[in-house]
A and B are shown apart, each in its own frame.
Chain A
Amino acid sequence: MRQSWFKYFLLMPGTLWLGLFVAFPTLLVFLTSFLSRNTYGRLLWEFQIDTYLRLFQWEEWIVILRSLKLSLEVTVVCLITGFPLAYYISRVKKSIQLFLLLLVVIPFLTSSLVRTYAWITLLQKEGLINRLLLSLGWIEEPLELLYNEAAVLLGMTYMFLPFMVLPLYAALEKLDTSLLDAARDLGAGAITVFLKIILPMSRQGILAGSLLVFVPSLGYFFIPDLLGGNRTLLMSNYIATRFSQARDWPFGATLSVLLILLTLALVYLFQKKNPKDNAHEKKV
């Protein structure tokens, strides 16, 4: 009895923290989404569900779908670029592995906002890349590298790549090389070894990495704001402007609720996929 009491005592700070800074704000968002506002944007204690009905309008859906599409693209690009990197890191000597992992996470030491501004100085018309290409004579006119979807994709991929690489590395690092030898011994060429051994055995990491990239990329608003200009309207910056310029808190909150539900659904799917299929990973 005493022990279980003690256990709850230990859980208290964490629970308080989560309650105060996660559960409570989420409830506020949920509540706000059902309130009304006056013409100046002031919240009124009058309940409504019009904001939810608005979600069924096509104009809103375009934004949501564009958001999902971009997040999917970010996830796929992170996966394609992150996989070889994680595989390489997992195969070199342990001491070098640590060094390379350090390089992967070092960008986190700087504010992500600052790093996004850095991309602007690289990509803008008078930016480093354009000037370099001009001076090399490869282009006549500066390229439009900034303020489009590609720039947002680039910035997001850059920002979220470590979230893909780390879980992939964790999965690949456990991959026993003798399995690859065994597969080759049984007649599998490089492609078959990849498809039948490496890929299925790193499924866990692929799923975790994809979730860790897909979900936050849906909600990151300053990258599309800074690199996409106002031409790339996504769910994230759409929500942000509902709260700021538009002063339409109820609708902003409604969109947030949608985002939260989407995220929860994904996490749920991820959890459901895992326990059964990866029973083998517990024992090895």
Chain B
Amino acid sequence: MLELCTISKAFLKGQPVLKDISLKVEKGEFLAVLGPSGCGKTTLLRIIAGLEYPDKGDVYINGQAMTHLPAEKRPVNTVFQNYALFPHLTVEENIAFGLKIRKIEKAQIRQKVKEMLSLVHLEGLGKRYPHELSGGQKQRVALARALINEPQLLLLDEPMAALDESLRKKMQVELKKLQRELELTFVMVTHDQEEALAMADRVLLLYNGQIEQEGKPHELYYTPKSRFAAEFIGQNNFFHFSQLAGQEYQFELGRFIFTQKLPPSFTAAIRPEKVHLSTTSVEKSYPVEIRNIIFRGANIFFTAVTHDGFEILGELPAENIQLEEGQEVYIHIREADLVIIA
């Protein structure tokens, strides 16, 4: 469907923004490109859309080279970061824009605009101007304006960034449903890791203009390959292990004996929800004091502090847990929960 081969791009007098990016997207797939702000996500989308040309590399859509085709000739549509609705046109006229350019019959345009309005639940708002819409409604118009052209590939640039928290969650579900039902191919860029994991079939983590890691959401979450990936996606505790003898290592909490052979020195991460507590000392458990309990609905977060002052973030289901600040407990760490990231 979409294939990028070693795309590189630098702007005038600047660092390269993208370095040798290659990726493939299958038909009907939902790919999320995740990365911190300024890492080149928008630039990548613009290169796919044809609004920017790469310095090097090629863009293929359905096997056809598109690298030098201008945006208006590509079978791709975009939902822009701030929607970019035409302020001088009504909702209907905005949505009809693409079809009008293709000189489709008037009656047919009217029919399709109507269908689109109902698809994105904006019936009755067709005569309004963009400034008379809420953020969520604007987003739907932007979506309808792109989808009406039946693009083979839809690009979405931070489509939820301008929405408030609760609306964002709702739109995430809706957008994903739409993509499934219409069997559309989506490439969405976002800096929100939760959003990427929740919506996409596959996530591509972009950092410093390069692909840091690529995989299914749970792969990125549970097996981050680098410190950056582990830090950027979800929350993690990091430990540094150094070999004492054989499989016995020293780390921030004390001693740990691994069952596998490992390098003499490495970093490992553990998710807060994998930090187990026990009231009695068992094997591979370490004494800590509980501080800062934060209640977050279904879960509580706490900070466990060792005698040396090292802090570990933990998470537990809120039910049936009686935890108090200042309580002295043991942290239990299992080898299987440690993700070794070099």
Contacts and interface: CB of A to CB of B under 8 A. Distances in A.
Contact of B80 (A182, A197, A280): A182
A179 interface: yes
Nearest to B130: A280
Given A184-B71, A185-B51, A185-B71, A178 B131 contact: no
Nearest to A176: B84
Given A197-B86, A201-B87, A284-B131, A184 B70 contact: yes
A188 B129 contact: no
B156 interface: no
A192 interface: yes
What is the interface residue range for chain B against chain A?
Answer: 20 to 34
Interface in B33-83: 46, 49-51, 70-73, 76-78, 80-82
B84 A186 contact: no
Nearest to B101: A187
Given A184-B72, A189-B72, A200 B88 contact: yes
B102 interface: yes
Nearest to B88: A200
Contacts of B129: 279-280
B136 interface: no
A280 B87 contact: yes
A187 B98 contact: yes
B191 interface: no
A283 B76 CA distance: 30
Contacts of A188: 72, 97, 101
A188 B72 CA distance: 6
Contacts of A284: 87, 131
Contacts of A283: 131
A183 B88 CA distance: 13
A181 interface: yes
A232 B71 CA distance: 52
Contact of B84 (A178, A192, A279): A178
A197 B86 CA distance: 8
A23 B82 CA distance: 49
A60 interface: no
Contact of B78 (A179, A182, A279): A182
A182 B130 contact: no
Given A186-B97, A187-B102, A280-B130, A181 B86 contact: no
Interface string A107-126: 00000000000000000000
A280 B87 CA distance: 6
Given A186-B101, A187-B101, A181 B51 contact: yes
A284 B133 CA distance: 12
B149 to A, nearest CB: 7
A50 interface: no
Contact of A280 (B82, B84, B131, B149): B131
Interface string A259-284: 00000000000000000000111111
**Which 8 A-B pairs rank lowest in CB-CB distance, beginning with the nearest?**
A283-B131, A182-B84, A186-B98, A280-B87, A178-B84, A184-B71, A187-B101, A185-B78
28 contacts: A176-B84, A178-B80, A178-B81, A178-B82, A178-B84, A179-B86, A181-B84, A182-B84, A183-B97, A184-B51, A184-B71, A185-B49, A185-B71, A185-B76, A185-B78, A186-B77, A186-B97, A186-B101, A187-B101, A187-B149, A188-B72, A188-B97, A188-B101, A197-B86, A200-B88, A201-B87, A282-B131, A283-B131
Given A181-B51, A183-B97, 12 more contacts: A182-B86, A185-B71, A185-B76, A185-B146, A186-B146, A192-B101, A200-B88, A201-B87, A279-B131, A280-B87, A280-B129, A281-B87
Interface of B: 46, 49-51, 70-73, 76-78, 80-82, 84-88, 97-98, 101-102, 129-131, 145-146, 149
